[in-house]
Structure 1
Amino acid sequence: MPAKPVIKKAPAKAAKKAAPAPAPEPAPEPAPEPAPAEAPPAEAPPAEAAPAETAPPAEGAPPAEAAPAEAAPAPPAEEPAAPSEADATVAPAAEEITAPAPAEPEKPADASEAPAAEETNAAPPAAPESEAPAVAQATAPAAEEPAAAAPETPADAAAVAAAPSSEEPAAAPEVPAEGAPADAPPAEEPKAPTPPPPEVPTSEPLNLTVEDVNDTSVTIKWRPPENIGSGLDGYAVEYCKDQTTDWVVVNAELTPANRFVIKDLTTGDILHIRVVSVNLGGRSPPAVLADPVIVREIVDRPKIRVPRYLRARLVKKVGEKVNVVIPFSGKPKPVVTWTKDGQPLDPKKVNIRNTDRDSILFIRQSERDHSGKYEMCVKVDSFEDRATIILQIVELPGPPTTVKLVDTWGFNVALEWTPPKDSGNTEITGYTIQKADKKTGDWFTVLEHYHRLNATISDLIMGNTYSFRVLAENKVGLSEEATIAKTTAYIQKTGINYQPPEYKEHDFSEAPKFTTPLSDRAATVGYTTKLLCAVRGCPKPKIEWMKNSMIIGEDPKFRMINHQGICSLEIRKPSSFDGGVYTCRAKNAHGEATVACKLEVKQVINPDAEKK
C-alpha cells in the first residue's frame, strides 16, 4: 500500500484570491440504464479556468506541491447522462483525500459552497495506476478544447474542482454571494466615444497650364488648391483622347509635386488633360485644360516683338490716324487675336490685318472711344505669347468750371477758379489768366502756364474797371473757350500825400590833416624840381609855402598848385642859394597842420675846366 501523501495547505494569498462560487444545483437522478464503460461527454460552455492534467506521483515519493486552482461552477448539462465507472471511482477517492480548510471570514458563502472551497485548497493524493486514466478523464479539458460533460452529482463536481493544476492559478472575478450586501455601487455605463469629424476633400487645383510639348510627351504644371480640406495626399493626372470619354490615369502613385511629365504618347493625338487632388475625404473636382493638346513637336514657339515706341503709352490727338505694326514669329503659323479691355474688338471701329510675320492695327480717324488697353495674343497649339498696348486719344480741354473775384484792394485783385470738367483725356498742365479794360475791351495775358488755382493780379490802373477770364491748358493746347468772372474789379482813385523822410545832415567838418608828407630832395643847379604833399580838411584849408620859415610870396621863380588836396611847389632852375628847409602849412577854421622837407641843390663840377 503506498505511503500516505502529506497534505500541505495552500498559501493564504492564493486562498484569498479564490472567489466563492455558487454550488451547482443537483441534477435529477435519472432512471438506471445500462451505460457503456465511458460515456461520451456532453457539450458544455468552456470553463473560466481549466486545470492542466497532472501525472500521479511515484510510489514512496512525496507528492510535489501544487498551487490550488480556482474552481468554476459547471452549469448543469441539458440532458442528464448516466454516471460512468470512472466518475464512480473518482468520487470516493476525492472524498477521502479532501481536508477541510478555514473559510475566509470576509466573504461568507452558502453551506453548499464551503466544501467546494475546502476541496480547492487540498492537494490530491497519489492514485493507483488503475485509477489514473479515470482521474485524468474526469479533470477539466485543455483551454483550447470545450469543457467535458459536467458531473451529475456534487461529489463529481468536487472531484473535478479538487484536481491539481501545474500552472499558476488565474484570478477569477469576485462575485458576491446571494443575499450578501454589495461592497460597491454598480459601475456607470460607459459613454459612447464622440465620432471623428467627417473627412472633407480639397478644392480643385489652380492655374493648370502646359509647360512643354514634344512628339512623345506633354509637360504640365499647376498650383495647389485654395482649400486643403482634410489634408493633401497628392495629385492624380489623367488624360482622355479627343472624341472619347475614357479617362486614363497616368501616375500609378499620387504625385506630391506641382509639375508632371506625361510620357510615352503617340504623335498626333489630341488629348484632354485634367488634374485631381486626393486626400482622405476623396477626390476633388478636376482642373481641366481649357484647350486640348496636340502631341507634336513645336518647331518655333510664338514670340511677339513689340517696338520700343509702343512699350510706353501711345498718345494720339482726336482725328489723327493710328497705324500700329507689331511683328511676331512662330512655326507653324500662329493664330493672332486682339482684345480691347478684355473684350473682342469691334471690326467697325478698328481694322486688324494679320500676315505670317506681323499684325497691323489701323484706325482711320481716331476718337476718344478708341482709348484703352489693347492686348495681342499669338498662339501655337497650347503655347502663346501676349503683348499689351495702351492707346490714349487726347484733345483740347474744356474751360475751368468757375472763376470768382475774391477781393480788390489798392491796385490788386485776387482770383480763384476750379478745374475743368473735361480734361481732354489727359492731365491739365496749367492755366492762362487774362484781363480786359472796360474802355477798350481788349484781352491781355497776365499769367500763363500757371499751375495753381488762385492768383493775385497787380499793377492795375487807378480809375479803370477790369474783367478777368481763365483758360485751361493740357499737352494738346489751350481750351477753345474761357470762363469769365461774373463780377468786375474797379480800381478807385485815392489821394496820395507823399512826405519824404527827414534826414539829418552829416557834419563833414574836419581840421586839416596831411595824408602824404613832404620828402627830402636833392636837386641839381639849373634843373627844375617839385615838392609834393597831400592834405585834407573841411572846409577846404588854405595852403601856404615857406622857405626857412619865411612865407614865399609872389616870386615868379616858385609856382604853387593846390588841386583836390594835392599840393605842389615847383622851383624853376634852382641855384645853390635855393637850398634850405621848405614847409607847407594848411589851415582852416578848425585848425592847421604843417609838413617840412630839406632841399639840397648841388653844383656840377667839370674836371676839364679845372685843368685849364
Structure 2
Amino acid sequence: MPAKPAPIKKAAKKELPEKKVEKAPEPAPEPEPAPVEPEAAPAAVEEAPPAETPAEGAAEAPAEVVVEAPPPPPPADSADATEATADPEASTDPAANADPTAETPVAEEPKAPTPPPPPPKEPTSAPLDLFIEDKNDTSVSIIWSQPETVGDSGLDGYLIEVCKDGTEDWKAVNEELHKSTRYAIKNQTTGDKLKIRVVAVNAGGRSAPGALPEAVLVKEVADRPKVRLPRFLRQRYVANVGAKINLTVPFTGKPKPVVTWTKDGQPLDTKRVQIRSTERDSILFIRVSVREDSGVYEMCVKVDDFEDKATLILQIVELPGAPATAKIVDTWGFNVALEWTPPVDSGNTEIIGYTIQKADKKTGDWFTVLDHYHRMNATISDLVMGNIYKFRVFSENKVGMSEDAVVTKGEAKILKTGHIDYKPLPFTEHDYSEPPKFTVSLADRAATVGYSTKLLCSVRGSPKPKIEWLKNQMIIGDDPKYRQICVQGICTLEIRKPGNYDGGVYMCRAKNSCGEATVHCKLEVKQPINPDAEKK
C-alpha cells in the first residue's frame, strides 16, 4: 500500500502595509485550473490549491483594498505540485504572473472646472436732500437722506468733503466713515465760503456726490432778538425785605444777543444786583433785598441793528410804621370818639387797615375792640362807668401789622351820673299805603264738562285789599261750586266740575281804603269728545 503523501503546510499570510488605491483595475478572467496527473508516487500531492491571484483580490476589494502576499511555493519534495504550480498554462493573465509586492499605479484625480469670476460690485446712488441745518461763526451743520439705491453690497458710511469756493481742492473732513445722516463741520474760518458735498461708500467704491447747490458762508445766522418775559413778571413783582431775588428772563436771537440792564434809566449797581446772561436767558440776582432795590428795571437785548426791550417793576416791602398821631375827640355817656392820622412810613405799600385797642387804667391790660378797620376815626362804645381808659392804634399793610402803635395822649373817664333822661327824637312813620294793583292778570281759559279748572291772578296793595269774584257781573259769594283762595297776593278761583252753563266772563275785584282794581277773563266750557259716537 503506497504511503500517504506528507501534508502540505499552508504558509501564513504575511501582512503588508496597507495601500490605498483610488480605483481598482478591472478583474481579469479567472484562469482554468491546471490539470493534475494521477497519483504515481507516494510523495505526490493529491491536489494543490489554486493560488490566489491579485486579479481575484482586486475584483472583490472595495475602493480602498489591501494587497496580500500570495502563499509560498510548496516544498521541494513535491515535484508534481511544483510542476503544477510552475506550469505556465496555469494562468495566462499577466496580472496573475505579476509581482504581488509591486505598487498598483494610482489614477490621477480629475481637476474641477474653474468657476467664472463674480460680477463686479456696484457703488450706491448719490445721497439725497442735502441741506444746511444750522451754522455759526466756526461750524456748519448739515443733514441729508440715504441714497435711493443701496444694492447688495450695503452701505459702509459717508465721506463729507469741503473745498473753498472758486477751487476744486476737495478734502474730507472726517477720517473715518460717518454712519449718521447728520454732521457738524467744525473749526472753520469765519467769513469763508465753502462748497460741501457728501459721498456714500460701500464695497463697490464711492458713489456720485450729493452737493449743496451753492457755497455756504461761515457766519452766524442773524435772527431778530425777542424777550420772552414770563407772565408773573408782567405785573408788579412784590417781595419782602431780606428776601432773595432770583428772576430769569428768557430771550431768543442769533448770534448771541448783547444783554444790558438798567434801573430807573440808570446803570445797575453791580455791588447790589448781579446779572448772569447765557445764550438763552438772563438772570437778575439779589442776595439780600432792601427797600432801595425797588424800582423799574429794563432789559434790552440787541443783535446788530435790532433790539428788543422788556420792563419789570420790583417792589420790596416791609412792615409799616405806627400811625403818626391819635387823640380822643369826645367822651359822652359810655362812648369815646377817636381820630388818628396815617403812618409816615407805609412799608413801601398801601395801608389796608388799622387795629384799635383799649386798656383800663386799673389793670393795664390791652384788648382789641376793632381790627381791619379802614377809616381813621372810630367810636368806642360799651365802656364801664367810672373807669379811665387809654387807647392805641396799629397800622396794617400786606406784610402785616406794625410793630409799634401810637397811644392817645389824653385819657377818657367815664363819669357816674345819678339819672339820665333819654329823650328820643320824634319819629314819623313812613306811609306805605298803596291802592290795589294786579301784577298778573287773568287769562282766558277753555275747560271740559266734568273736569275741574282754576283761574289765577296776583294783586298787591296796602292795606291788604279785599278780594271778590264775579261771574257775568254777579258776585259769586259762598257758592259751594266755587272755591276762593287768596294767599300772599295770589288769588285762585277753583270751579269744581263745570257744566254747560258755567261758561262766561269771570272778574276778580280788589278793594282797600286807597282804591280798587279789577281784571277779567273768558271761560269756555266744551263737551267731551266721545270716540264711540264718531265711529257711529
Measured against the shorter chain, the TM-score band is 0.3 to 0.5
* Higher normalized strand content (fraction of residues): 2
TM-score (norm 1): 0.33
Compute the TM-score of the two structures, normalised by the length of structure 2: 0.38
- Larger Cα-atom Rg: 1
